[in-house]
Amino acid sequence: MKRAVLFGGAAVLGWILARHRRGAGHDTTSGAPVHQTGRAARNARMAGMGAKVGTSYAVHRARRAFAPEPRRAELDLEHQMHTAEQVAQTLGNMKGAMMKVGQMLSYLDEGLPEPLRDALAQLQQDAPPMSGELAAGVVERELGSPPQRLFAEWDPVPIAAASIGQVHRAITREGQAVAVKIQYPGVDEAITSDLNSAGMLFAGMRTMFPGLETGPVLDEIRSRLTEELDYRKEAESQRFFADAYDGHPFIHIPAVVDEYCTGRVFTSELADGVRFDEAEQWSQEERDLAAETIYRFAIGSMWRLHVFNGDPHPGNYLFRPGGRVTFLDFGLVKFLTPEEVYPLQRLIETIVIDPDPAAFRQTLEDVGFLHHDSALTDDEVVGYFRHFYQFALDEESGVLDEKYASLIARKLFQLDGAGSPGIQRSGNVPPAYVILQRINLGLYAVLGQLRAKAPWRAISEELWPWVDAPPATELGKQHAAWLAGRRAPAAD
Contact 290/322 with Cβ under 8 angstroms?
Answer: no
How many Cβ atoms sit within 10 Å of the Cβ of residue 196?
Answer: 11
**End-to-end alpha-carbon separation of the chain, Å?**
50
Q: Which of 27, 109, 188, 311 is catalytic?
A: 311
Could you confirm whether 277 is annotated as catalytic? no
Work out whether strand 251-252 and strand 324-327 pair parallel, antiparallel, or are unpaired.
Answer: parallel
Distance of CA 361 to the CA centre of its chain: 28
CB 436 within 8 A of CB 445: no
Catalytic positions are 311
